[in-house]
Chain A
Amino acid sequence: MKTRSLQILFWLGLMILALPLGRAQQNPLPDAAAKAAADEDEYAVVKIYDPLEPFNRTMFKFNDGLYDYVFQPISKGYVKVTPAPVRMGLGNFFTNLKFPIRFVSTLLQGKFKHAGLEVKKFYVNTVAGLGGFIRISDDVPDIANLPSEDLGQTFGVWGIHNGPYLVLPVLGPGTARDTVGLVGDYFLNPMHWNQLQHVDGYHWWWDTTLQATDTVNSLPELLKLYDEEKKAALDPYLSVRSAYIQYRDASVKQ
C-alpha cells in the first residue's frame, strides 16, 4: 500500500513538474538590483523560487534543532564506537549498493559511455573490493572520479526546472523536482526491494537495521558539512538554500 501510494506520488509529481508552469516561475530576479548585478559581473543573484519561505524557514529551524539535539549526539556516539575504517567501508558498501540509481539515471540522460563505466565500477568494487567495502575503483583511472547521478538531476538534464524550493522535515533542503526524483531513487535503491525476505530465517528488523545503518553511517559527514555551512553563514537559511541550488545546478550541468 505504502509502495503503491509512493508510486502514484512519483508519477503525479513528474507530470506536475513537466507542466510549463514550473518553467515560467524560475526566471532570474526581475528587479533593478538584480539587473544591475548582472551588468556588473557574473555573480548576479539568481532568484530562487521560494513561495513557501515562511513554512520553509520554520522547517529549517525545526530541522536545525533536530540535527543539534538528536542527530548530533547519535552521530558523535556512532563515531566513538565505530572505527574510521569501518565507517569508510560501510559508506563504500552502501554507495556501491545504490548502483541502480546511478546506472538508470545515466541511461535516461543518454550518457551511455558513463553508464558502461558505472557497470565497470560496480563490478570492480563488488568483485575485487569485497562486496563494495573497499573502493578499488580509486586505482582505476577511468572510473576513479565518476560524478554522482540521480533521478532529480536527470529531470534537470531533461530541462525540467527546480520548481519551488522545499525544506523537508528531517531530510532538509530540496526542490519539487528533486523530491519527485527522491521518490524514484527510493524504488531504484536495492535496499527497498525486500530481497532479504527470501533469505531463510528472515526477520522484519533486518531491513530496518540495514537502512538505519546506512542513515547513521552517513550522518557524521552530512552534519559536518551542514555545520561548516552554518558557521560561515550570516543567514544560514539563505546560505543553505543558495548552496543547495548551486550544487544541484552544477550537477545537472556536469
Chain B
Amino acid sequence: MRSIRLLFASIVSFAALSAATVVQSGDPQQVLRSGIDEVLGIVYSGKTPTQPFSVLVRPVLEKNFSFDVITRRAVGPGWRQFSLAQQQRTTVLFTELVIHTYADRFEAGAQPGITYAAPVVLAPNKRELPTTIDYAGKKYAVAYRMELVSDQWRICDVIIEGVSMISNYRAQFDPMFQHGGAAEIIRSLEEKLVQITAVK
C-alpha cells in the first residue's frame, strides 16, 4: 500500500516537474512564430540591407536553432568517432553552411504568408509544427521539428515538402565518413564554404 502511495507521489511530482519545465520554456509555437517574425522583419524591413542577409539573420537563427543537435544528427553514428576538436570544427562549419543556404533563399519581393497548423506532439520534449508558406502564388508545406534543449524549445530539423534537412545531409555525410572519416567531412564542408563565399 505504502509502495503504491510512493509510486503515485513520485508520478505526480514527476508530472508536476515536467509541466513546470514546459511552462518555464514557453509554448514552442510561440517560440517559432516569434523567431520567424524576427527573420521576416529583418529581411522584409523595406530598408536596403547594409550587410548580407546571412549576417543579419545569424543571431536570430543561432538563438532558435540547435546547431549542435542538427550537426550531430546529420553526421550520424560516426559522430562518436570524431575527436572533440573535430566535433567542434564540424559544428562551426556546418552551422555556417546552413545559415548561408537559409539566408540565400530570401529574395526581394512580396513577403511570404505563413499559416500555422496545430502542433503534433511527438514526445513530451518533441513537437512537430506544420506550417504552409504561401510565396509567389505557390504553397509549400514546411514542418519544424522542435525539441527542449537545455530547457529551451529549439528547432532541430526543418522538413520542406517531406524532405528533412537532417536526412538529406545524412545521405551525403554517410558515404563521406565511410570513405575518409571525420577529415573527409571537414574538408568537404571547408571546400563548400569557400565555393559559396567565392560566388558572392
Contact = CB atoms under 8 A, between A and B. Distances in A.
Interface of A: 33, 36-37, 39-41, 43-45, 84, 88, 91-92, 135, 145, 221, 228, 231-235, 238-239, 241-243, 246-247, 249-251, 253-254
Contacts of A221: 136, 138
14 contacts: A36-B77, A43-B73, A221-B138, A232-B97, A232-B101, A234-B176, A234-B189, A235-B172, A239-B171, A242-B163, A242-B168, A250-B163, A253-B162, A254-B162
B58 interface: no
Interface of B: 73-74, 76-78, 97, 101, 104-105, 132, 136-139, 161-164, 166-178, 188-189, 192, 196
Contact of A247 (B105, B163, B172, B175): B163
Contact of A43 (B104, B162, B164): B164
A91 B78 CA distance: 45
A242 B78 CA distance: 19
A251 B162 contact: yes
Contacts of B137: 88, 91-92, 135
Given A88-B136, A234-B188, A234-B192, A33 B174 contact: yes
Q: Decide if the interface of chain A is mainly helix, strand, loop or mixed.
A: helix
A186 B26 CA distance: 50
A147 to B, nearest CB: 8
A235 B163 CA distance: 16
Contact of B167 (A91, A246, A251, A253): A246
Contacts of A40: 76-77
B172 A243 contact: no
A135 B172 CA distance: 38
A91 B137 CA distance: 9
B73 A45 contact: no
B132 A234 contact: no
Nearest to A248: B162
A246 B77 contact: no
B169 to A, nearest CB: 8
A167 B26 CA distance: 46
A239 B101 CA distance: 14
Contacts of B132: 145
A230 to B, nearest CB: 10
Nearest to B161: A247
A37 B76 contact: yes
A41 B147 CA distance: 14
Nearest to A243: B163
A228 B189 contact: no
B167 A43 contact: yes
Nearest to A235: B172
A221 B140 CA distance: 12
Contact of A45 (B139, B171, B192): B171
A238 B170 contact: no
A239 B138 contact: no
A234 B77 contact: no
Nearest to B191: A234
Contacts of A33: 76-78, 174, 177-178
Nearest to B171: A242
Contacts of A232: 97, 101
Given A145-B132, A228-B104, A228-B105, A234 B172 contact: yes
A63 to B, nearest CB: 19
